[in-house]
Amino acid sequence: MRKFLILAMVAMAAIVFAACNNTSEPANTENAANDNANTAAKPAEDPKEAVIALETKAHEAWKAKDGKFFEEMLADNFVGNGSYKDKAGLVKSISENPCEVKDVKLDDPQTVNLTADAVLLTEKVVSDYTCEGKAGLSPTWATTVFVKSGDGWKAAFHQSLPAEGAKGEAAKVEFPASPTDATDDLTKALSEKENKWWQEWKDKKTDYFASDTADNFFQLGADGRTAKATALKQSKETPCEVKTFKTGGFKAVEVSPGVAVLTYTATQEGSCRGNAIPGKVFSTSVFVKDGDAWKGAFYMETPAA
């Protein structure tokens, strides 16, 4: 579990947006994004309210099993990680969702303007739902990347993970035994960076991570958002003991010019603060173009059931 996210995590079941289908303070991601000289200029109108409103409607559509809403809301190149991988998979899981959702609400939504045409939204989601008579997992943390489409916005990526203290059961998601990497140049380039970060985490080093991520990089874990400086500090004060790791199934998609989403799976063996780390995870990194180079802007992972 690279990028030091494991310091805040314990083994928990996987959950994704279509369910059944910090110790540190939250990072001030909005201010960081505005201060980062490497990001594109802020749009004339802050998209925060628009994307939060769209996300709220999406949760209501999940409650209503309204797959048609997602047909319109999702970008054609939508990326998922877990029980669905693409737009068709998510629409199907929404329409055929066997769960009964009584209530769902968003808490503490925050946005980062990745570029003028791409926004990353993180939020805590509190839900009351049952699947086959069993209470569903809640609360969760969720991430959605929205991209500009005409005069509006569409979702290009979504993934969730169990929040600290979550109760209930998550949907069982099949973990691939022998994942295959995509062979395009973007996937090769970004997966090489990702593997360097993993190796550095195992070796208890931080040099490459510190230099190859954006200044406003942050990660999302069970206890919420962690800014880059805090993650680096934690890694030095409480390094993990990592015996082995293996990554695979890499796939990169440039969801908007200068913004790429890299999804993959990882297996690992080790411990942090005396707690065994999750053996299998669905991992995602978001990269932003900085000149001719790609830099990490965000990371999250969902433990597999």
**What are the pLDDT digits (tens) for 222-271?**
999 999 999 999 888 888 899 999 999 999 999 999 999 999 999 999 99
Which residue type occupies 265? T
Res 235: pLDDT: 84
Q: Are 99 and 19 in contact (CB under 8 A)?
A: yes
Tell me which residue of 159, 14, 21, 184 sits closest to 78, measured CA to CA: 159
117 pLDDT tier (thresholds 50, 70, 90): very high
Res 33: pLDDT: 43
The span from the CA of 145 to the CA of 14, in Å, is 20
What six digits make up the tokens of 4?
């030091």
SS3 158: strand
pTM recorded for the entire structure: 0.87
Question: Taking 70 as the threshold, does the pLDDT of residue 83 lie above it?
Answer: yes
In order of their start, the domains of the chain are 29-167 (3.10.450.50), 176-303 (3.10.450.50)
8 pLDDT tier (thresholds 50, 70, 90): very low
The span from the CA of 146 to the CA of 108, in Å, is 17
Per-residue pLDDT tens over the stretch 268-283: 999 988 889 999 999 9
Res 11: pLDDT: 33
Average pLDDT over residues 53-72: 97
Q: What mean pLDDT, rounded, does the chain reach? A: 88
Per-residue pLDDT tens over the stretch 183-205: 999 999 999 999 999 999 999 99
Percent of the chain with pLDDT over 90: 78
What six digits make up the tokens of 283?
């991992």
Res 2: pLDDT: 54
Per-residue pLDDT tens over the stretch 209-222: 999 999 999 999 99
Res 269: pLDDT: 97
